[in-house]
A and B are shown apart, each in its own frame.
Chain A
Amino acid sequence: MIRFEPREPASLPRLILIPVAAALIALLLAALPISAAGVNVLEAYGLMGKGAFGSLFSFTEMLTRATPLILTGLAAALAFRAKLWNIGAEGQLYAGALAAVAVGTGWIDAPGVILLPLVVFAGALAGGAVMLGPTLLKTRLGVDEVVTTLLLNFVILLFVQMMLEGPMQDPMGMGWPQSEPILDQAILPKLMDRMRIHGGLIIALAAALAIHILLKRTVWGFEIRAVGENASAAAHAGLPVRATFIRVGLLSGALAGLAGVGEVAGLKGYLTADLSPGFGYSGIVVAMLAGLNPIGVVVAALFIASIFVGADSMSRATGVSNYLADLIVAMALISVLVSGLFLRFRIKFIRPHAAAASTQAASQETK
């Protein structure tokens, strides 16, 4: 039997060690499905590593894949800090991409200095606007935001499809459901010649730093942390609980919207309905692996991105389904959840006889 005793304070090495261990456990567990698929496990890991880090090209591909994950990871991390359960980053990402395309494809013809910021801003705004609804429903009517944000993901994706088959379809697209291309001056600059890595990464890194500063050093961040840790005490102390939720909702949605902007204005150049292979959901895993720490989000996003890019490349070489990547990511989430216990508690294995010994101290911890 197991007994939890609270551990305090969590040391920095431990804060780093735990998610790393969780990631490694997920990778180790992946050996099972890999060997079930009839492939040599070591060979598969080798191919994955090579696929993510083996060449300059693969490394930049990994960074390109990490870009939206950093942003959706930040969206989840910020919202979860306030215990606002935004599971709608996927939809907000599409809303951001749609807005970027709406503004950037010729409706306004302006020089890049004006148009590019406008595109970025429109995407952020759209993402924030999508999250505003569930947030208001939560603060005003007490509607659970988990379900509303989840359901909105489907609504928005259908809306995007509708626009791509209707008013926003590219007349030159030969009937494909895709938008017109974004104007050249509104494309995020490439960071390296002949590589796909783009300015979205700079936006993502800047956003991580900004959120870090916001949470650590500002009054708003103080309020977000207080509301997230104990909304009841925060309200009693006169902190603006509702306003904090709304701020967090808007910001979180905006971050996810920016991920969409990066994908259309940095990577693809136009919008299709299969823009995101679940970046919104993977963002949740990124945030949890990072322990909801904005700087940690960057590291966790790099890890998840290398899993995706590595697994793709391994899949092409060996024929193991690239759903393996999703599987590893899901297992990473579960193992980081469990290993988080080692961060908060000292876990003692004791004789069954004395097992029922109280976890009362532990309960204090979680209250």
Chain B
Amino acid sequence: MDFLDIFLNANFWAASLRIATPLIFGVIGALVCERAGVLNLGIEGIFTAGAMAGWMAVWLGAGLWGGVAVAALAGAFFGLIHAILTVPLGLSQHVSGIGVTLFATSLSYFVYRTALPDVSSPPRIEPFKPLDIPGLSDLPFIGPALFQQTALTFLALFVVAATAFVLYRTPLGLAIRAVGDNPSAVESQGLSVYGIRIGAVVAGSALMALGGAFLTMSAFDAFFFGMVNGRGWICIALTVFASWRPGKALLGALLFGAFDAFQVRLQTDVGSFIPGQVFLMMPYILSIAALILVARKADYPRALLVPYFRGQR
């Protein structure tokens, strides 16, 4: 049967992990922000900025890891804008996030167009290569599925583990989890609510930008307009689906990647009967379905969306 073939094919799992990688960065980034009580709808624009900035840095000769660093810095910059607007100034997190998305996207496009006014096909860079680990890569099935990935995918997996460790095992993580539930608990223990929230939003935004950088530096080798294509919004949905837990976030992103890889393969089988757009719609519909699924029992961080002003109880 065709379906079974799909699942038994190592390339399918390799593709799933590849599709999941930017989402892993994005969901973990969104999760860090939201755990601290700040919804970051700037994510879509931060993805774009990360994709553009990372790619451009490499194109200008910064080297691949230099590009990754530049992408992260770009994300941190836009994250800082969102953090200042929403944390000390206490402005609407919804509107500020949309504003940051519009700003980051238009600035990225403008910079790209200004740097490359006349090109019709974007210049290419030499992207990350799959990590070829002698011995391991030759393992049957697992080898190709896992070790055909680039360094950024492994970085994403590391980020999940590191985030889980920080959140659940260190004093900093304790403070982040507390500030998203009750900022007064943090302030009464002498810690700075603003400091922790701003730090979390900046760090989370840097991670989001890495998701964008993966697109231009690993999945593809160039920057295109509209290439983020809603991935940021999907991450916001996946964060709810993952109940704000790093492990579940990884699982959610992988499931999503697997589904997407599956439908691409299904498309080659039944694509002649069903218009391609139906398949392209699936990720968005799936995200909405995931939200509906968990809506009843979603355990939102209690202080999410609630601005904190000192002296308020």
User: Which A residues are within 8 Å of any B CB, using their own CB?
Assistant: 2, 4, 33, 36-37, 80, 85, 87, 137, 141-144, 146-148, 150-155, 158-159, 161-162, 165-166, 281, 284-285, 288, 319-321, 323-324, 326-327, 329-331, 333-334, 337-338, 340-341, 356, 358-360, 362-363, 366
Distance to closest chain A CB from B5 (angstroms): 28
Q: For B85, what are the chain A residues with a Cβ–Cβ distance below 8 Å?
A: 334, 337-338
Asked whether, in the complex, the Cβ of A147 is within 8 Å of the Cβ of B109, the reply is: no
- B296 close to chain A: CB less than 8 A: yes
Q: Are B233 and A151 in contact (CB under 8 A)?
A: yes
B164 lies within 8 A of chain A by Cβ: no
Chain A residues, CB < 8 A from B107 = 33, 327, 330
Q: Which B264-303 residues sit within 8 Å CB-CB of chain A?
A: 275, 277-278, 280-281, 284-285, 287-288, 291-292, 295-296, 298
CA distance A329 to B95 in the complex (A): 14
> What is the distance, in angstroms, from A279's C-beta to the closest C-beta of chain B?
13
CA–CA, A349 and B288, complex, Å: 45
* Cross-chain contact of B281 among A4, A155, A320, A358 (Cβ < 8 A): A155
Q: Are A158 and B280 in contact (CB under 8 A)?
A: yes
Counting chain A CB atoms within 10 Å of each CB, the highest count among B88, B91, B110 belongs to B110
Whole-angstrom distance between the alpha carbons of A36 and B92 in the complex?
31
Decide: A337 and B311 in contact? CB cutoff 8 A.
no
Most buried by B among A327, A331, A358: A327
CA distance A144 to B310 in the complex (A): 28
Q: Given A141-B292, A327-B106, does the pair A337, B95 have CB atoms closer than 8 Å?
A: yes
15 A-B interface contacts by CB (under 8 A): A2-B88, A87-B94, A137-B291, A137-B292, A144-B240, A146-B41, A147-B287, A151-B288, A321-B109, A327-B107, A330-B105, A331-B103, A337-B91, A360-B311, A362-B90
B288 surroundings in chain A (CB, below 8 A): 147-148, 151-152
Interface of A is mostly: helix
- Asked if A358 contacts B295 (CB within 8 A), the reply is no
Closest to A87 in B: B98
Tell whether, in the assembled complex, residue B296 and residue A151 are in contact, meaning their CB atoms are under 8 Å apart. no
Closest A residue to B280 by CB, please name it: A158
**Chain A nearest CB, measured from B236 CB (Å):** 5
**Contacting residues, chain B, for A146 (C-beta < 8 A):** 41, 94, 236
Contact partner of A323 (CB less than 8 A), chosen from B106, B236, B281, is B106
Contact of B110 among A33, A144, A148, A319 (CB under 8 A): A33
Return B288 CB to nearest CB of chain A, in Å.
5
B121 on the interface (CB 8 Å rule)? Answer: no
Chain B residue nearest to A142 in the complex (CB): B295
B188 to chain A, nearest CB (A): 14
B113 touches A321 (CB 8 A): yes
Taking a contact as CB atoms under 8 Å apart, the answer to whether B94 and A85 are in contact is yes
| Known A321-B114, A360-B309; 14 more pairs at CB < 8 Å | A4-B309, A143-B291, A147-B236, A147-B287, A147-B288, A151-B288, A158-B277, A162-B275, A165-B275, A165-B277, A327-B107, A330-B107, A334-B81, A334-B85
CB closest chain-A residue, reference B298: A142
Give A329 to B107 CA distance when docked, in angstroms.
11
Interface string of B90-102 (1 = CB under 8 A from A): 1110111011101
Give the interface SS of chain B, mostly helix, strand, loop or mixed: helix
Give every chain B residue within 8 A of A141 (Cβ-Cβ).
292, 295-296
B-side contacts of A161, CB under 8 Å = 277
Q: Which B residues lie within 8 Å of A4 (CB)?
A: 309
Does the CB pair B275–A337 fall under 8 Å?
Answer: no
Taken together as a complex, chains A and B put the C-alpha atoms of A338 and B113 apart, in Å, by 29
Contact between chains at B230 and A154 (CB < 8 Å): yes
Q: A142-B296, A334-B85 are in contact. Are A281 and B96 (CB under 8 A)?
A: no
Check if B96 sits within 8 Å of A337, measured CB to CB: yes
The bracket for how many chain B residues form the interface is 35 or more
Give the CA-CA distance A267 to B246 in the complex, in Å.
49
Chain A residues closer than 8 Å to B113, beta-carbon distance? 321, 323
Minimum CB–CB distance for A92 against chain B, Å: 15
Q: Which of B106, B237, B275, B285 contacts A155 (CB 8 A)?
A: B285
Is the pair A36, B310 in contact by a Cβ cutoff of 8 Å?
A: no
Please determine whether A154 and B292 come into contact, CB atoms closer than 8 angstroms: no
Q: Are A151 and B234 in contact (CB under 8 A)?
A: yes
Q: Is the CB of A162 within 8 A of B41?
A: no
Given A326-B106, A337-B85, is A154 in contact with B91 using a C-beta cutoff of 8 Å?
no
Q: How far is the CA of A105 from the CA of B229 in the complex (A)?
A: 31
Asked if B189 is an interface residue, CB under 8 A from chain A, the answer is: no
Given contacts A147-B237, A154-B284, A155-B285, contact A281 B98 (CB under 8 A): yes
Residues on A with beta carbons closer than 8 Å to the beta carbon of B94: 85, 87, 146
Interface string of B60-100 (1 = CB under 8 A from A): 00000000000000000000010001001111101110111
Task: Give the residues in chain B near A162, CB-CB below 8 Å.
Answer: 275, 277-278
Q: Which residue of A lies closest to B98 (CB)?
A: A284
Closest to A324 in B: B110
A319 to B99, CA, bound (A): 26
User: In the complex, are the beta carbons of B106 and A159 less than 8 A apart?
Assistant: no
Complex alpha-carbon distance, A196 and B103, angstroms: 30
Q: Say yes or no: B311 contacts A341, CB within 8 Å.
A: no
B117 touches A (CB below 8 Å): yes
Collect the chain B residues with CB atoms within 8 Å of residue A362's CB. Answer: 90, 309
Inter-chain contact A326/B109, CB cutoff 8 Å: yes
Question: A137: nearest residue on chain B (CB-CB)?
Answer: B292
Contact A363 B291 (CB under 8 A): no
Q: How far is the CB of B97 from chain A (nearest CB, A)?
A: 9
**CB <8 Å contact, B285 and A333:** no
Q: Which residues of B contact A151 (CB under 8 A)?
A: 230, 233-234, 237, 284-285, 287-288
Interface string of B241-273 (1 = CB under 8 A from A): 000000000000000000000000000000000
